[in-house]
Amino acid sequence: MPEGPSIVIAKEAIQVFEGKKILDASGTAKIAMGPLINKKLVAVRSWGKHLLLCLEGLTIRVHFLMFGSYMINDKKERSSHLTLDFGKGNQLNIYTSSIKLLEQPLDEIYDWSADLLSDQWDPALARKKLKKTPDVLVTDALLNQDIFAGSGNIIKNEVLHRIMVHPYSKIGDLPPRKLTELVKEVHNYSHDFLEWKKAGILKRNWLAYTKKKCSRDGSVIKKEYLGEGKRRTFYCEGCQVLY
């Protein structure tokens, strides 16, 4: 569920409730439910992997982490983390997520130009941020939400395969053109991810993630746990160059 494009899909689905008033709020999330009641859902937005339910004067921030899910006008057997009831059968249920209330205006919290899926995405700014940390491994840089908000482990693996860069390369060792290509492809792949996910053909298009053999040169795709978070990293030993 959780990479940025999936959050965009959730956002678009939940926008059916925009303009409706919350008649009841409940669930196991450790937040005060009182302030939500009788507030109108003004807008549904997203920033990276954050789903933002904007009410009058406050925002509910939902992060699905690894296992989060949601249902619209339907519910699971299990108890919800947050249920927003808009009346007349209109109900949003959120499960196993991190939920927080934000009091400040969102523009003070979020840099929209860091969000890969935002139309304010700024590749030049991302490039500038990368230049500041030359010793960081590309496999880590691609998961850095401050630079690539919305990028996750699938996007990381697919982008590195696309641009034929070994995950253990350091940012500072990439030729300038490769660095530009990296920034461009994270953005491109995020949008491909979104379209493919919507069409239900995301997995079919994976070229590295969970793969055993490279479709480009037939080499073995190696699986290792790399980087600060020791995340699953798939790369082709044949075509992905270590800089």
Q: Residue 122: helix, strand or coil by DSSP? A: coil
Stretch that binds DNA, among 9-17, 66-74, 158-166, 184-192 (CB under 7 A): 66-74
Q: Can residue 184 be called a binding residue for DNA (CB under 7 A)?
A: no
Question: If residue 225 lies in a helix (H) or strand (E), which one and from where to where?
Answer: strand 221-226
Contact between 156 and 234 (Cβ < 8 Å): no
21 binds DNA (CB under 7 A): no
Binding string, residues 95-134; x marks residues near DNA by CB under 7 A: xx-x------------------------------------
Q: Which one of 57, 65, 124, 237 is in contact with DNA (CB under 7 A)?
A: 65
CB nearer to DNA: pick between 28 and 38? 28
CA distance 56 to 41: 7
The nearest distance, CB 125 to DNA, in angstroms, is 19
Continuous H helices in the chain: 4-14, 106-109, 123-131, 138-141, 153-162, 176-199
Task: Pick the closer one to DNA by CB: 27 or 130.
Answer: 27
DSSP secondary structure code for residue 16 in this structure: G
Under 8 Å between Cβ of 170 and 135: yes
User: Hey, what are 54's tokens?
Assistant: 């904007």
For the bound state, the minimum distance from the C-beta of residue 13 to DNA, rounded and expressed in Å, comes to 17
Interface contacts to DNA, rule CB under 7 A: 1-3, 6, 28, 48-49, 63, 65-67, 69, 76, 78, 95-96, 98, 143, 145, 152-154, 229, 231-232
